[in-house]
Chain A
Amino acid sequence: MTTAPTRPPGTAEHTVSAVPSRLGALLRLRELPVTVALIALVTITTVVNPLFLSPQGVKDLLLNATIVIILAAGQALVIITRNVDLSVGSVLGLVAFGTGTLFVTVPGIPIVVVFLVGMLLGALLGAINGLLVTVAKVPALVITLGTLYIYRGLNNAWAGGTQYFAGDRPDAFGALSVDTVLGFPLITLIAIVVVVIVAVYLAGTRAGRDLYAIGSDPDAAKLFGIPVSRRVFLAFLTNGVLAGLAGVLYASRFNSVGATTGSGLELAVVAAAVVGGVAIFGGSGSVVGAAMGALLLTTITSALTALRVDKFWQEAIVGVLILSAIIIDRIASVRTARKLRISEARNV
């Protein structure tokens, strides 16, 4: 063998183009498209209908998004590990009905206790998902499709025709979704705190980074010694807690809770995460993106109404929006890949 030249051929140019400009880094953010779309949407709608950004309008927008934001944050956590949780709508329903029941059966129960019980119930349901996925090692899509049905069935069996109404709950509880601080409704502030905590966990802790590694290549993660089962279980558990929190907040915000509360929410939540740039096969994306996705999807409904767009068009437009989000993300990643190829290409 010939003696080594100072550096291997072919790796010479790598570092030169590698110092990224701040702008470049900003443009590569996966959250960018959804943010731009959101700003554009709000701007256009406000120009046409100034009432859209009235204090009440803003409050409504935030309130509408709050519950989906919390669900999307939890879902992002799960999707990043290359799993998915379709049972969130059912979990939310069960917890929301449980909240209603608590207030009625235990008069004068402190609101904090209700929150804790709701999140605990969510944690339990999430833990069941997590256990089935990690211990039995079966695909999450199947398991959570199963628990979607089972939890919904439990909700139906428990609630029957009973519904609890806003009037059954203390005013202070309902006030959480009415009162504002600096224009932000209280429950929205809760959602923001949740997103910040989860975001910091994902970006800044070793365990959080492990989730990305697991989603990126689960087999490699196992070989590498990352406690895959424990991390994935925790992701499901956390998602359950957040779905539980969302369930309690649902009961605060909306009028009635009963057997069908929250049904059909699962695909909307997954869609929010996807629109926000969370890769459906795990490994990349962020909760901030997912939260933006949730905000965008809920805002579009309000915007279309405010623009007096025929309501029959709304669902179709939501569909187009989801598709555009995926396509934009794809174009962006193809461009990055191409750039990478060009920057590392041989001079031929």
Chain B
Amino acid sequence: MQTESLHAGDGPPRPRLALSGAVKAFGPVVALADGNIDILPGEIHALVGENGAGKSTLVKILAGLYRLDAGEFHVGGQSVSFRSVADSKAAGISVIYQEPTLFPDLTVAENIFIGRQPKGRLGLISRAAMRQAARDLFDQLGVRIDPNRVAEGLSIADQQIIEIAKAISQGATVLVMDEPTAALSGVEVERLFQVARNLRAQSAGILFISHRFDEVFALCDRITVMRDGRYIATHVTSTVTVDAIVHEMVGRDVGALFPKVVAPVGDTVLSVKGLGRAGVFADVTFDVRAGEVVALAGLVGAGRTEVARAVFGIDPYDRGTVEFAGTRLRPHSPKAAIDAGMGFVPEDRRKQGLVMNLSVGRNTALTLRDRVARFGIINGRAERAAAVEWSRRLQVKTTSQEYAVSTLSGGNQQKVVLAKWLATDPKFLIVDEPTRGIDVGTKSEVHRLISDLANRGIAILMISSELPEVLGMADRVIVMHEGRITAELSRAEATPESIMHAATASLERAQ
């Protein structure tokens, strides 16, 4: 049906929205040098590119958040110059940003309808109507979230679902989604796709950004590729291959994505026994050995992150033990974990992985505070040298070590996180969704890096929601479901079917 709406009628349909020659610079950084996009009614248009290619910048221009330095912007055939987000909304553009924008103190319903709350008597807001409207939306999306609950403490997946509900409830003619699926599991992604297709059928135009090609090819009608802030090409999906797109994105060929080399496995480094935390996870027992990559798989919300957090000492636990290199680790103390030789690359880079306003250099050296100090006094030169060295090794793209890390693109930020942990010479590294929101090129670098680390005897616990990543990287796969381990699979046993079975089925062990 999509092709029909694309090619029906005589002559090309008028785009809902068209941006051309867009330029946006932040001081010396030109985030967008030549941005072009057109979105037709009734199409889903993918925008792909490496980290830092300028996708989110383009989105923020469409949203009215940034003003163009140069270029033309037409909506519905009219030249526009948005002065604010409100202008963009009024023009029928609705945006889901890369980072969720919920208000933690407000209820879920209010979050969806803020600024457009239904009014009741005396022109005042009607909470009942608002709740009902939220319920209706959730029914449409097939999810059940309490509309009365405050948004504080919602899981990332639930937050993303609320963002989607918010966007579709605005009845926009153009829906822009910046990596909406990054935090979603297969089930939720599928439901999101259903919603997107429905909207397309109602002849809305959708811009969809993702680093996952399976999604792009499954959903989108056309694909626009960007590189280094420039428009490269637009293709009709059926006429291109993944390899061609990747080539355009990166500017060269990309080899094997998952260069897993099976490394010799050494002694047990981490041993978790009977770990439990009431209401979160229970009876979690597993080992990780030197040189081994163990993947913790499962659906989003299975409790994998919680287990990792407890192991690393961020959260307390009620039962069980964590042994590291033979000695029991003090619970609830990240410092003890780090001192023992653990590192943790958390899933939420912006909130947990990095201190966003601190410079790249300081972030990189943050884990080395004690090591670059002598008699309690920091050696500033050693600190800087270490930061420069590790940025260089991980090829962090930044103009200066002094820039706030928030000015880097997502992928480069992730490299800084990795750099800061590798700098500590860890014996054991937890990587939680290490490639979330990371482009193919960098992704393969990260995979290579993980694999290399394992080769050098570092034990790795990898949490990932991407099955190809799990299958490609892991020596062993532990599958969790609803806070319990439901399967432990060797590399040979791990197949998409066995993992999904264990991840969705209930307590009987899948084998």
Q: A residues near B, CB below 8 A? A: 1-12, 14-15, 18, 20, 200, 203-206, 209-210, 212-213, 215-217, 219-227, 279, 282-284, 337, 340-342, 345-348
Q: A12-B144, A224-B101 are contacts. A3–B190 as well, Cβ < 8 Å?
A: yes
Q: Which residue of B lies closest to A344 (CB)?
A: B279
- For B89, B102, B500, which residue has the most chain A Cβ atoms within 10 angstroms? B102
**Chain B residue contacts of A15, Cβ below 8 A:** 144, 146
Contact across chains for A216 and B143 when beta carbons are under 8 A apart: no
Cβ proximity bits B269-301 to A, threshold 8 Å, 1 near / 0 not = 000000010111111000000000000000101
- For A15, A20, A342, which residue has the most chain B Cβ atoms within 10 angstroms? A15
Neighbour of A223 across the interface among B85, B157, B276, CB < 8 A: B85
Cβ proximity bits B173-205 to A, threshold 8 Å, 1 near / 0 not = 000000000000111111100000000000000
Q: A8-B143, A205-B124, A348-B482 are contacts. A225–B86 as well, Cβ < 8 Å?
A: yes
Cβ proximity bits B312-343 to A, threshold 8 Å, 1 near / 0 not = 00000000000000000000000000000000
B21 at the binding interface (Cβ < 8 Å): no
A346 to B86, CA, bound (A): 41
A85 to B434, CA, bound (A): 44
State how many angstroms separate the Cβ of B265 from the closest Cβ of chain A. Answer: 30
Contact across chains for B124 and A204 when beta carbons are under 8 A apart: yes
Contact across chains for A212 and B105 when beta carbons are under 8 A apart: yes
**Chain A residue contacts of B148, Cβ below 8 A:** 18, 20
Contact across chains for B482 and A216 when beta carbons are under 8 A apart: no
Contact across chains for B276 and A348 when beta carbons are under 8 A apart: yes
Contact across chains for B125 and A217 when beta carbons are under 8 A apart: no
Q: Which 6 residue pairs across A and B have the least CB separation, nearest first?
A: A345-B279, A225-B85, A283-B105, A204-B124, A348-B282, A18-B146
| Count of chain B residues near A, Cβ 8 A | 59
Contact across chains for B105 and A223 when beta carbons are under 8 A apart: no
**Chain B residue contacts of A2, Cβ below 8 A:** 186-187, 500, 504
Neighbour of B280 across the interface among A14, A204, A209, A345, CB < 8 A: A345
**Chain B residue contacts of A205, Cβ below 8 A:** 124-125
At the interface, is chain B mostly helix, strand, loop or mixed? loop
Name 19 A/B residue pairs within 8 A (Cβ), A-sorted: A1-B187, A1-B190, A4-B187, A9-B302, A18-B149, A212-B105, A215-B105, A216-B105, A216-B106, A220-B103, A221-B103, A224-B115, A225-B84, A282-B105, A283-B105, A345-B278, A348-B278, A348-B282, A348-B483
**Chain B residue contacts of A217, Cβ below 8 A:** 101-104
B64 at the binding interface (Cβ < 8 Å): yes
State how many angstroms separate the Cβ of A128 from the closest Cβ of chain B. Answer: 24
Cβ proximity bits B86-104 to A, threshold 8 Å, 1 near / 0 not = 1011000000010011111
B145 at the binding interface (Cβ < 8 Å): yes
State how many angstroms separate the Cβ of B454 from the closest Cβ of chain A. Answer: 28
State how many angstroms separate the Cβ of B365 from the closest Cβ of chain A. Answer: 27
Neighbour of A346 across the interface among B104, B152, B279, CB < 8 A: B279
Contact across chains for A213 and B146 when beta carbons are under 8 A apart: no
B81 at the binding interface (Cβ < 8 Å): no
Q: A200-B124, A348-B482, A348-B484 are contacts. A8–B85 as well, Cβ < 8 Å?
A: no
Q: A224-B85, A226-B114, A346-B483 are contacts. A10–B301 as well, Cβ < 8 Å?
A: yes
**Chain A residue contacts of B282, Cβ below 8 A:** 348
Neighbour of B65 across the interface among A4, A210, A216, A223, CB < 8 A: A223
A6 to B484, CA, bound (A): 22
**Chain A residue contacts of B144, Cβ below 8 A:** 7, 11-12, 14-15
